[in-house]
Chain A
Amino acid sequence: MRVLPDSLFGHHSSPDAGSPAEARSEVVLSVTELRKSYPEIVAVERISFDVGRREVVGLLGPNGAGKTTTINMILGVLSPSAGRIRIAGIDLARQRARALARANFAAVYAALPGNLTVRQNLRFFGLVYGIPRLTERVSTLIEQFDLEQLKNTKCGVLSSGEQTRVALAKAVLNQPQLLLLDEPTASLDPSAAQTVRARIRRLATEGECGILWTSHNMYEVEQVCDRVLFLSRGRILLEGDPRRLPSEHGAATLEELFIRLAREPLAEPLERAG
């Protein structure tokens, strides 16, 4: 497999994301030469990237590309075969607890315990993250995420949209410097998804954290992400501004580019376009 020329790995930012230089100046996630191999397969092959403060970076790729493997390694629940992960400058392998105290996540496949209420879940995870003034923090999040009516409802009986709101509230409990979101809008209707997208965009700008986001919805990627990384077969093939990448690579839309990369990851025309 050939990797695209370095010239494609430019860093871009959307106009509403603040200064690109500022966003990139404070790196909240640094991934260096990350690799994960199993006896039968290489899931992630020496990828390097970083996420800056107030930056939303989309991690895109077809199923099995290595997105969730990458996120699991950043979350510390899967150890890399090689490479280094630093969260807010802290080496995850050496200082796991310190590094993870500065990160949080929400994923469509990791629902919060359904047998606890919204408030109980937030209190439980708040203690695990060691949040000071927890009662106050939980009340604030319940208000911010419109959970007042649901606070005493068990999470297992909430709708997908409500569960996503709770998961996001939990994901910002510790005011993380790095937020990982694995398909956070996958099970939402268009209206709920739009609300969640707006909320996440605000988290990045107002919360001043960096966000790594995976999604298969190219429309939402264009709406939210400052920069995208195309991952295929464990390698980063392309990186750039999701609004400019399609035209730079001879595609009409981001979705078309995605499909081309997914079906023929290293086609000649694409390389020449770089």
Chain B
Amino acid sequence: MRARPVAGILLRQFYLIRGSPVRALPMFAWVAIDIVVWGFITRYLNSMSAGRFNYVPSLLGAVLLWDFFTRIMQGVSTAFLEDVWSRNFLNLFATPLTTPEYITGLVITSIGTSVVGLVVMLVLATTVFGLSFFSLGLMLIPFLLVLFSFGIALGILASALVLRLGPASEWLVWPLPALLSPFVGVFYPLSTLPLWMQDVGRLLPPSYVFQGLRTLLAGHALTGASLAIGAALAVLDVALAGYFFTRVFRYAVRTGLLARYSAESVS
């Protein structure tokens, strides 16, 4: 893999964000709104419980982690969609750029945009609502890494779906995180769910993160085993998503889908 083509993908995204407040705003606006809304909900719940339970870390912490995951996923798919919207596939893929270089560029773009969102969320949640997120200590790192990896996997999967099904299918991929959220137990233990939903949840890496978060907040020791399963699943998902994208890309080259994409919508 060569650095310069990857840098080209990054530079393009940088130009787009720098030149367009419409693109820059969503990097932090929606997550900030989420934190503010959930922050006040937790304050209200805390007042109702009269200090018997602190909702801030369990609810606001979960929202923060979930939003981080969502931003990662959307960071990859939005960067990909920029090429869909500007009908740039023909210009882009008639170059020496390889698929791994392109995906790497999208992923690094997503890291950049998501980190901005994460910082905004952390600042708001800690300063305004008193979330002591760093009290989770070093466990925060694997939590974020698992969510990051799964967000990347889902972003690549979403991009592959748009490539395969056409530009109009972007409306199918935006709600993917919302579709998964009931299964991963962002705000409740998996045991709350019906058995079949629990089985689905156990296949999804974020469920191990949120289970781990609740375990830590309850003051119990977290065994690395369950989080390791989540991490392994996340790595597997990244590999599967990359494989799927490559297959779809080859299909698009074989059938002419890629060449037609620039000139006319396939849908």
Q: Which residues of A contact B (CB under 8 A)?
A: 38, 68-69, 72, 75-79, 96-98, 100-101, 103-105, 107, 109-117, 120, 123-130, 170
Contact = CB atoms under 8 A, between A and B. Distances in A.
A167 to B, nearest CB: 9
Contacts of B259: 68, 72, 77-78
Interface string B243-267: 0000000100111101100110000
Contacts of A124: 8, 11-12, 15
Nearest to A100: B96
A110 B16 contact: no
Interface of B: 2, 4-5, 7-9, 11-12, 15-16, 19-20, 86-98, 250, 253-256, 258-259, 262-263
A100 B94 contact: yes
A80 to B, nearest CB: 10
Nearest to A99: B96
Nearest to A130: B4
A117 B18 CA distance: 12
A76 B256 contact: no
A69 B93 CA distance: 15
A124 B12 CA distance: 6
B8 A127 contact: yes
A260 to B, nearest CB: 29
A179 to B, nearest CB: 12
B96 A125 contact: no
A109 B263 CA distance: 6
A184 B262 CA distance: 16
Nearest 7 interchain pairs by C-beta: A127-B8, A75-B94, A128-B8, A97-B96, A113-B86, A101-B96, A72-B259
A110 B12 contact: no
A17 to B, nearest CB: 26
A170 to B, nearest CB: 8
Nearest to B251: A79
B12 A116 contact: yes
A116 B96 CA distance: 21
Contact of B94 (A68, A105, A109, A127): A105
Given A77-B94, A109-B262, 4 more contacts: A77-B89, A109-B263, A116-B16, A130-B5
Contacts of B87: 110-111
B86 to A, nearest CB: 4
Query: Which of A75, A76, A109, A124 neighbours the largest number of chain B CB atoms within 10 Å of its CB?
Result: A124
Given A124-B11, A127-B5, A112 B96 contact: no
A118 B96 CA distance: 21
Nearest to B92: A128
Query: Which of B11, B92, B94, B97 neighbours the largest number of chain A CB atoms within 10 Å of its CB?
Result: B94
Nearest to A182: B90
A85 B88 CA distance: 24
Contacts of B88: 112-113
A75 B86 contact: no
Contacts of B12: 113, 116, 120, 124
A77 B7 CA distance: 22
Contacts of A77: 89-90, 93-94, 253, 258-259
Contacts of B2: 130
Contact of B91 (A78, A115, A117, A125): A125
A110 B263 CA distance: 7
A115 B263 CA distance: 17
Contacts of B7: 127
Query: Which of B12, B16, B254 neighbours the largest number of chain A CB atoms within 10 Å of its CB?
Result: B12
Given A72-B259, A78-B258, A128 B253 contact: no
Contacts of A123: 11
A269 B97 CA distance: 48
A120 B98 contact: no
A155 B211 CA distance: 50
Contacts of B263: 109-110
Contacts of A38: 255-256
B114 to A, nearest CB: 22
B20 A115 contact: yes
A165 to B, nearest CB: 16
Contacts of A111: 87
A8 B72 CA distance: 60
Contacts of B91: 110, 112-113, 125, 170
A107 B90 contact: yes
A101 B101 CA distance: 15
A121 to B, nearest CB: 9
B90 A79 contact: no
